[in-house]
Structure 1
Amino acid sequence: MPIDAVGANAHRYPTLDALRGAAAFAVLFYHLRNIGAGHHGPAVLPIFASGYLAVDLFFVLSGFVISHAYGARLRKSLPFRAFMTARFVRLQPVIAIGTLIGFILALVQRLLGLEGAPGLFAIVTCLPANLLMLPNVLMPSGIFLFNPPAWSLFYELAANAVYAFAVRREADSTNGMRENLLLAASCLAGFGGLVASVLLVGDLDRGVALGDWPVALARIIFSFTAGALLHRTRHRWMKGVPRLPLPWLLIACVALLAPDFHGAPRAIYDLTFATALSPVLLMLTCVAQPGPRLQSASAWLGMISYPLYAVHAPIKHVIETILPLGFAPMLIVATCSAVSIAWLIGTVIDPALRHWLGNWQCRLYTTADPHVATTSSLSGGA
C-alpha cells in the first residue's frame, strides 16, 4: 500500500500506482460480489472471484517500493523509530476512517437491536486495538471487526518493521550480498509456507481471522521479500523485460483477478498467482511508460487506491443495512459511494492529514535529533 516520505527516494514509479489502483478495484468488486447476501452468502456477480489475491500483489509492490524509497536511507542514517513512525502515521489515519465508519455502524446496530449486530464486548475491545492497527486477539473470528481488510495492513506494517530492523543491522556490511541472501532465504521460506497453505486449506483466501495467521504470514513473507529482492536486483533484469503498453498490463491485472476456480485448480491458481504472476506483473509494469495521455489516469488510480481499499468494506455493510434493495441497485450505490468517499479522502482529507502529520514529524525528529533529515509532507506512493 502507500508509502510515506521521511527520507524517501524522490524517484517514483507512476505505473506501479496505476497497477495498485487496478488491483484495488478488483478487491472492491470481489467484496461486492455477494452484496445483500451476507458475508458468506452466494456470489451474484460471476467475476472477480480471485480478487483476494490482489493482497499478494500489494505485498509485492510494498516490498519493491519500500526498498526503493527507504533502503539506502535506512542503511545510512534514517533511524528505525523515524521510519516506523512515518509508516504508522501514513497508514493509520486513512484506515482509521474506515474503522470508525464500521464502528458507528456496529454501535447503531447493537443499540437498535438489529439482527447480526456484534456484542458490546466485541465493540468495546475492538475499537482501541483496531485504531492502533492491531488485531483484537480477544475476538478470534473478527480481529478487525469494523474493517476486515485492515488485517493486511497489520501484516504489512509488521513486515516493514522486520525489514527496517534487518537493513539497519546490516548497515555496516561492506556489500549487499548478505542482505540479498537474507531476502532470498526469507522468500524461499515464504514459498514453502505458501505451498503448505494451499495443500492444507486449499486456497490463500485467509488472513481476516486469528487462526489464519500461518497463511497470512506465508503470504507477507514471500511477497514482501520477493518485492524487496526484485528491487535490489533490478539492474540485472530491467533491461531484459519487454516494454508493454500500460493499458494491456492493467487489463491483464484485472483479468487475472477475475477467474473462479474450485478444488485443486483453485489451489494451483492461487499458488501460481502469488509466486509467479504477481512478481511478473510488477516487473512488466515498473518498466512500462504511461505516456502523456495516461499520466493523469495513473495518478488518479494511485491516489484512490489506498482510500478505496481502506473504506470499501464498511461502506458495503452500511449500504446493506440501510438500503436492503436488490443486488443491482445495491451494487451501483455501494460502488459509487465507495469511489466517491475514497476520492474525497484521497484529494482532501488525506493530503491535509499528511501535511499536518508531516509537520509534526519534522518537529518531533528535529527536536530529538537535528541530524535526522525529514520532509514536511508525506507522498502517496505504492
Structure 2
Amino acid sequence: MIAPPGKPDQGPAERLLLVQMLRAMAASMVVVHHAQHDAEAVAAHLGLAFTRGDLLPWLSGVDIFFVISGFVMVHASANLFGRVGARRVFLTRRLIRIVPLYWIATTIYLAVALIAPRVLNSDAPSLWQIIASYLFIPFMRADGFVQPVYSLGWTLNFEMLFYFVFAAAIALPRRWAVAAASAGLALLVAGNRYLGPWPLPLGFWGDTIVLEFALGMGLALLRAQGLRLPGLLRLALIAAGFFLLHLDLSAADGGVVPQFLGYGIPAAFIVAAAVLGRETGRPPVFERFLVALGDASYALYLLHPFAIRALGQLEARTPLGALLGPWGFVALAYLAAVALALAAHRWGERPLLDRLRRLGSPAR
C-alpha cells in the first residue's frame, strides 16, 4: 500500500541518486536521436540501407528533463521559500549553473561556423540572432525554425522562462509558490491558445510543453509532504510511462495528442517512480557510473553534437565508416559523446562552476 504522508520536509535538500540516473538516461536518449540522424548520412555515403530504431521517441528525453527540472527547482529550493532575497539567490544559482557552458558551446559553434561552415551546413547568423541566442530570446531563423544559433538551446529558452516565473513566486511559502508558478505557466499557455497565437517570444513560451515544469513541481510537493510509493507501484509507473512513450502519441507525422500529454504525462510517470521512493544507500558500480553520467548530463546534452559531427567527418574521410557501418557509428558516437561529457564536466565545467559559486556567494 502507499505509505502515508509523513512530516513535511523542511531541511536541506537531499541528493537523489535516481534522479541523476534518470538525467543520464534522458540525455542519452537525445544523443541516440542525433547519432541516428548522422548515421543516415553515413549510410548514404557508403551506399548502405539504414532504418532508424524507433523503440522510443528519443527526443522525449527533453520532456523527462523538463519534468525533472520542475521537480528539482522545488526540491533544491526548500530553504529559500518565503525568505527575503530568495529571488536573487535562486536566479544567481541558476544562471551560474546554466549560462557558462551554454555560452561556451555557442561560442565554439560560431567559431566552427566561421572557420569551416561546410561542416555545419548552416547559414551565417545575423548579429541580432547571435545576441538573442546568448540572451535566451526566441527568434525565427531563416529556415523557419524558432531556435537559437546553437539549436540545442531551444530547450534552455524554455528553462529560462521557467526560472524567471519560479523566481517571481519563490518569496511565497512553498505550496503557494508552486501554485503561483504553475498558474503563471498555465495562463501563458491558455492565453497563447485562446487569445493568440501571440507573436514571438510569447508565442514560443506559450507552448504546452511548459506545463511539464508544473508536473515536476507537483511531484516535488508530494515528496516534500512525505509521500512514498511501494516498489511494485513504482515499477508499474515506469512500465506505463515507457509503454506510452513507445506508442509515440505525439509523433510529428500524425501525432494525435499535444506533446504535453503524449510525452509529458509519461515522463511524469517515470520521474514519479524515481522521486517518490526511498533511497537505498550507496549504489553498485554500474549505477554509480550512471550517477556520474547524470552529474555530467548537461555537458552530455550540450556537447554531444560536436562529438557526433567530428566522428562523422572522420568516417567520411577514412575506412572507419565501412568498417563500422551505420549502427556501429551510432554506438561509437554515443561512447565518444559520453567520454567528451565526462571529461568536460570533470576538468572544465565543475571547476568553473565551483569558482563562480564562490564568487557569487554573499560575503560572510
Structure 2-normalised TM-score?
0.75
The match for 1:238 is: 227
Cα deviation for residue 61 of structure 1 reads 1.0
Instruction: Tell me: CA distance 1:85–1:107, structure 2 relative to 1, closer, same or farther (3 Å).
Output: same
The match for 1:103 is: 110
- Residues 180-229 of structure 1 deviation map (CA, whole Å, 9 limit, x = unaligned): 543554565578689x69xxxxxxxxxxxx97974653344311122223
The match for 2:355 is: 356
**Residue type matched to 1:266 in 2?**
G
Does 1:81 pair with 2:88?
A: yes
Does 1:148 pair with 2:151?
A: yes
Instruction: Tell me: CA distance 1:154–1:191, structure 2 relative to 1, closer, same or farther (3 Å).
Output: closer
- Residues 100-124 of structure 1 deviation map (CA, whole Å, 9 limit, x = unaligned): 33223322333xxx3874334x165
Does 1:119 pair with 2:123?
A: yes
Counterparts of residues 355-374 of structure 1 (less than 5 Å): 355-362=354-361, 365-366=362-363
Distance in 2 of aligned mates of 1:84 and 1:100? 23
Cα deviation for residue 259 of structure 1 reads 5.2
What SS does structure 2 have at the residue aligned with 1:80? helix
Does the CA-based 8 Å contact 1:51-1:257 persist in structure 2?
A: no
**Residue type matched to 1:344 in 2?**
A
Counterparts of residues 134-213 of structure 1 (less than 5 Å): 134-135=137-138, 141=144, 144-168=147-171, 170=172, 178-179=176-177, 181-183=179-181, 185-186=183-184, 189=187
What SS does structure 2 have at the residue aligned with 1:349? helix
Cα deviation for residue 136 of structure 1 reads 5.2
Cα deviation for residue 138 of structure 1 reads 6.2
What's the RMSD between the two structures over aligned residues? 4.0
Distance in 2 of aligned mates of 1:238 and 1:18? 21
The match for 1:310 is: 302
What SS does structure 2 have at the residue aligned with 1:46? coil
Counterparts of residues 1-382 of structure 1 (less than 5 Å): 9-37=12-40, 44-47=51-54, 50-110=57-117, 114=118, 117-120=121-124, 122=125, 124-135=127-138, 141=144, 144-168=147-171, 170=172, 178-179=176-177, 181-183=179-181, 185-186=183-184, 189=187, 214=203, 217-235=206-224, 238-239=227-228, 241-243=229-231, 257=245, 266-268=255-257, 270-288=259-277, 289-294=279-284, 296-324=288-316, 325=321, 326-362=325-361, 365-366=362-363
Instruction: Tell me: CA distance 1:358–1:245, structure 2 relative to 1, closer, same or farther (3 Å).
Output: farther
Distance in 2 of aligned mates of 1:61 and 1:309? 15
Instruction: Say which is worse superposed, 62-71 or 310-319, in terms of deviation.
Output: 310-319
Does the CA-based 8 Å contact 1:147-1:314 persist in structure 2?
A: no
Query: Where does structure 1 lack aligned partners over 5 or more consecutive residues?
Result: 1-7, 198-209, 371-382
Instruction: Tell me: CA distance 1:119–1:97, structure 2 relative to 1, closer, same or farther (3 Å).
Output: same
Query: Where does structure 2 lack aligned partners over 5 or more consecutive residues?
Result: 1-10
Distance in 1 of aligned mates of 2:297 and 2:236? 19
Does the CA-based 8 Å contact 2:138-2:204 persist in structure 1?
A: no
**Residue type matched to 1:315 in 2?**
A
Distance in 2 of aligned mates of 1:43 and 1:145? 30
What SS does structure 2 have at the residue aligned with 1:9? coil
Does the CA-based 8 Å contact 2:67-2:212 persist in structure 1?
A: yes
Instruction: Tell me: CA distance 1:88–1:141, structure 2 relative to 1, closer, same or farther (3 Å).
Output: farther
Distance in 1 of aligned mates of 2:70 and 2:266? 16
Instruction: Tell me: CA distance 1:127–1:308, structure 2 relative to 1, closer, same or farther (3 Å).
Output: same
Distance in 2 of aligned mates of 1:265 and 1:119? 30
Does the CA-based 8 Å contact 1:159-1:224 persist in structure 2?
A: yes
What SS does structure 1 have at the residue aligned with 2:227? helix
Cα deviation for residue 64 of structure 1 reads 1.2
Structure 1-normalised TM-score?
0.72
Does the CA-based 8 Å contact 2:223-2:275 persist in structure 1?
A: no
Instruction: Tell me: CA distance 1:212–1:125, structure 2 relative to 1, closer, same or farther (3 Å).
Output: closer
Count of residues paired in the alignment:
335
Does the CA-based 8 Å contact 2:102-2:153 persist in structure 1?
A: yes
What SS does structure 1 have at the residue aligned with 2:54? coil
**Residue type matched to 2:163 in 1?**
N
Instruction: Tell me: CA distance 1:271–1:74, structure 2 relative to 1, closer, same or farther (3 Å).
Output: closer
Distance in 2 of aligned mates of 1:22 and 1:253? 14
Distance in 1 of aligned mates of 2:183 and 2:252? 30
Cα deviation for residue 245 of structure 1 reads 10
Distance in 2 of aligned mates of 1:264 and 1:286? 33
